[in-house]
Amino acid sequence: MQIPPQLEVVHLGKPNDLVAPDIDVSSFPCAEVVSRVHANIRVEEDRYYIEDVGSANGTYINHNVLAKGNRHALRAGDRIGLGKGDLVTFIFQATE
């Protein structure tokens, strides 16, 4: 899955009546652990940052919980987990 290049903020989660996520994980196995509004990835000066925006089951970077409101500068190879148990995961890869 690729991050849409034209967006400065990419919303991860599942659809609801208010927000349509840019990356919709509702069809992924175990998507029930992912909140509708789960996390955002922001692009700032060619760097990518991820922030949990109030998910019920947490966002994890390399198996470590990311506190709500804190952001993490993503590096190639970082494992992003949405929800407990690494049931919905991505490996961040930067492209040139």
CATH number for region 9-91: 2.60.200.20
**pLDDT tens-digit map of 50-81:** 999 989 999 999 999 999 989 999 999 999 99
Looking at residue 95, its pLDDT comes to: 67
Phi, psi (deg, nearest 5) at residue 39: -150, 160
**pLDDT tens-digit map of 7-29:** 889 999 999 888 789 999 999 99
Rounded Cα distance, 32 and 93, in Å: 25
83 has a pLDDT exceeding 80: yes
1 has a pLDDT exceeding 70: no
Cβ of 62: how many Cβ atoms within 10 Å? 12
**Domain boundary assignment for the chain:** 9-91
- Residue 52 near residue 7 (C-beta atoms within 8 A): no
Looking at residue 3, its pLDDT comes to: 72
